[in-house]
Structure 1
Amino acid sequence: MIRAGHIEIVMLLGSLLSIVFFLQYYSDTEMFRSPKLVKMYNNSYKYSFPKCEQNMAAARISGFDGFPDILKDFLYYRHCRYFPMILDLPDKCGGIEEPEDIFLLLVIKSSPMHYERREVLRKTWAQERSYKGLRIRRIFILGTMGNDFEKERLNKLLKTEHQEHNDILQWDFQDTFFNLTLKQVLFLKWMKRNCQQVNFLLNGDDDVFANTDNIVDYLHGRRENNGSQHLFTGFLIKNGFPVRWDRSKYFVPSQVYEKNVYPNYCGGGGFLLSSFTALMIHSYSNAIPLFPIDDVYMGMCLEKAKLAPAPHIGIKTFGWYIPSKKIDQYDPCYFKDYLLVHQFFPNNMYLMWHQINDPNLKCGVTNSTRTIQT
């Protein structure tokens, strides 16, 4: 006769064996898969994550069928924050064991097709160099573009650039306007793992003109802040509002954002921030759903962190003003004191960089823009 106590022991052992079998069977499935940390050849680390699936529940949002395709795609994959890395830079900042002392990291949002822009930037303001003994380093952040053969060709192009210049971070997601926020979030995750020690960052598009000498002077002049305190400055936008017209590039329906006013934010063409603020944005972004407008999303994260963006008169992300039609709108004397200006095409970018760095450039006091340090 089997006693009750024996039965309980047998049942417990059976349960334990079932759990062991269950875990072994499902250990390689999506249900139990967790990020894997793999040590690389240079003592840095690489993470791998499971593939994210489309969220079909997004189609139940009121009015979904009438949304533009780019917005539908964004909503289907809004929850996805982990994508495979195609091109990595694990040693860009020196690696975990031997971090490099980088004062300014240039984080440039690019598109796979913008080869000419990247090449011009590498030869002009985004050069990797030292200025007054302070190191400047460069990273282009990208997704993928096209289908099948086109995607393969563009990825080969980026790989070739990467092998030559060691300056590209690429993830396997569609590089669209509404995925710029995803691009920013993925970069911040990468920075958290690989490049926390950098002092400051310039975050901008690949069609802005930046005077990196002026930027370093401005940042280094803030003696009270070596990157360990809050800084987020650019072209400040207050009381911005969501565009409800569905043909606009910036269309955001009330079903996606109910409020009529955005939090204060800086234009996404280019802004400066400290490493402290970048890591704070990274931390708070984990609790804020992705938003289709990346610069507004940055403002949302700052608001959540109770940090304020600040204006800088030397950053012009919505064009610039020349007081006379008799003067060339690309007169270098109007640009030599700016920090950052949007928008420049590659030919004007290349020329402007060499003009403002010409030791023989002569400008009168009246047509020189004074940079105000805010």
Structure 2
Amino acid sequence: MRNIRAKTFLMVGALGLLVLHLCKDFIDHKTIRLHVDVRENNNQIRKPTKNNSYVFFWPKCQQNISAANISGFSSLPIPIKDFLYYRHCRHFPMLLDLPDKCGGADKSADVFLLLVIKSSPGNYDRREVLRKTWAKERLHNGVWIRRIFVSGTSGSGFEKERLNKILELEQQEYHDILQWDFSDTFYNLTLKQILFLEWMERNCPNARFLLNGDDDVFANTDNMVVYLQSLKDNDGSKHLFTGHLIQNVGPIRSSGSKYYIPVQVQESNSYPSYCGGGGFLLSGYTALVIYNMSLSITILPIDDVYMGMCLAKAGLSPSSHMGVKTAGLYIPSSTLDGYDPCYYKDVLLVHRFLPHQMYLMWHRIHDPTLKCSPSTKRH
């Protein structure tokens, strides 16, 4: 009887080892991957990727068909209709993640200036130039500057696959892209902001300051560090939100405008004070306040206005900084060179540069032989 039991025990043990071996082969197989899913709040699923980081998967957000019952809905432009159908959607599958970008949540205070750059998948040339110029990750004046591009998806079918592959290849080389599976359109810029802020709360909550801007701005990030270090009473733990201040305006009701907002999207005829979305500086404290306020504010497709709405709800105000020129730079005469580096050497940010202009300007303002007269230093 003992021999039978011993043989049985050995057979069971051998079978167990065989099963474990087969399971290991199954898990390691490149074409068949077994994931242990971790269920998060609101049905969020956290899954490990090939490099053992994690990306976040959400159930597909369903269209709100009742939006079609809104008065005047049928006469609205298609982009507005699509916005209203999916206005309630705030979570989308994450395609590219950077969970350790800030050294982990606990070490994120080491990031002094986090560059958060909105970029569509097809803007490869812009991202490449920024990586070599003002968005280069570096230690400046003793503090760290880090870079993140925030993107959705563009196109459909094979075109979408190709553009996603471009971002995937960039991610492998630079590790600087956050991407979610939502349509990267003008009316989804606010969604892009909210998704980033949610990511920041989870992965980079203690970053001191942020530059939030477009990929076509020229940003003098060296000057930004100097300015932010001059704020002796604010290390990022107090309110700061500054840029090109816009006040006493309201929704544009003309359907031909890029910024068209019909009453079906917002009834109020006024906007709170806000800073132009081309680029603005804010503290880490303020970024997280905005995120918390956004949880209870209906999405408005104009992202910079929406940030102002979140500030207003928190009882905070944006401020003006003369060095932020999101409406462009004033050149005193048409006979002067509008790209004279002396006009740009002392500013913080100017909106709308082409990639080659960006590359040239960055190197020209850092030319040690550059000589500027007082009249060209700031306008």
TM-score, structure 2 as length reference = 0.87
Q: What is the aligned counterpart of 2:303 among 288, 294, 310?
A: 294
Cα drift, residue 139 of structure 1: 0.3
Cα drift, residue 61 of structure 1: 1.0
The count of corresponding residues between Structure 1 and Structure 2 is 341
Please name the residue that 2:61 is paired with.
52
Is 1:63 aligned to residue 66 of structure 2? no
Does structure 2 conserve the Cα–Cα contact (< 8 Å) formed by 1:33 and 1:50?
no
Query: What fraction of aligned residue pairs are identical, expressed as a percent?
Result: 63
* Residues 66-145 of structure 1: pairs in structure 2 closer than 5 A: 66-96=75-105, 98-99=107-108, 101-145=110-154
In 1, the alpha carbon distance for the partners of 2:329 and 2:63 equals: 42
Cα drift, residue 252 of structure 1: 0.4
Secondary structure at the aligned position of 1:157 is classed as helix
CA deviations 1:322-348 (Å, max 9, x no partner) are 001221001100010000000111111
Please name the residue that 2:275 is paired with.
266
In 1, the alpha carbon distance for the partners of 2:132 and 2:152 equals: 23
In 2, the alpha carbon distance for the partners of 1:331 and 1:181 equals: 34
In 2, the alpha carbon distance for the partners of 1:172 and 1:39 equals: 17
Cα drift, residue 136 of structure 1: 0.1
In 1, the alpha carbon distance for the partners of 2:241 and 2:42 equals: 37
Secondary structure at the aligned position of 1:103 is classed as strand
Of the structure 1 ranges 93-102 and 42-51, higher mean CA displacement relative to structure 2 is found in 42-51
Aligned-pair Cα RMSD in Å? 1.9
Is 1:236 aligned to residue 237 of structure 2? no
CA deviations 1:206-228 (Å, max 9, x no partner) are 00000001000000100100000
Letter in 1 for 2:158: F
5+ residue gaps in structure 1? Answer: 1-27
Q: What is the aligned counterpart of 1:278 among 280, 287, 308?
A: 287
5+ residue gaps in structure 2? Answer: 1-36
Is 1:223 aligned to residue 232 of structure 2? yes
Cα drift, residue 46 of structure 1: 4.5
Of the structure 1 ranges 249-258 and 276-285, higher mean CA displacement relative to structure 2 is found in 249-258
In 1, the alpha carbon distance for the partners of 2:370 and 2:279 equals: 26
Cα drift, residue 49 of structure 1: 2.1
Cα drift, residue 109 of structure 1: 0.3
Q: What is the aligned counterpart of 1:146 among 134, 150, 155?
A: 155
Does structure 1 conserve the Cα–Cα contact (< 8 Å) formed by 2:297 and 2:310?
yes
Cα drift, residue 96 of structure 1: 3.9
CA gap of 1:96–1:39, structure 2 versus 1, over 3 A, is farther
Does structure 2 conserve the Cα–Cα contact (< 8 Å) formed by 1:314 and 1:338?
yes
In 1, the alpha carbon distance for the partners of 2:58 and 2:136 equals: 33
Does structure 2 conserve the Cα–Cα contact (< 8 Å) formed by 1:43 and 1:96?
no
In 1, the alpha carbon distance for the partners of 2:215 and 2:239 equals: 25
In 2, the alpha carbon distance for the partners of 1:98 and 1:250 equals: 39
Secondary structure at the aligned position of 2:111 is classed as coil
In 1, the alpha carbon distance for the partners of 2:191 and 2:42 equals: 22
In 1, the alpha carbon distance for the partners of 2:76 and 2:103 equals: 45
CA deviations 1:288-346 (Å, max 9, x no partner) are 01101000000000000000000000000011110012210011000100000001111
* Residues 1-374 of structure 1: pairs in structure 2 closer than 5 A: 34-37=43-46, 46-96=55-105, 98-99=107-108, 101-369=110-378
Letter in 2 for 1:241: G
In 2, the alpha carbon distance for the partners of 1:39 and 1:154 equals: 23
Does structure 1 conserve the Cα–Cα contact (< 8 Å) formed by 2:209 and 2:283?
yes
Cα drift, residue 203 of structure 1: 0.1
Does structure 2 conserve the Cα–Cα contact (< 8 Å) formed by 1:42 and 1:95?
no
CA gap of 1:258–1:332, structure 2 versus 1, over 3 A, is same
Letter in 1 for 2:141: K
CA deviations 1:41-94 (Å, max 9, x no partner) are 989765432211000011111111111111111111100000000000011011
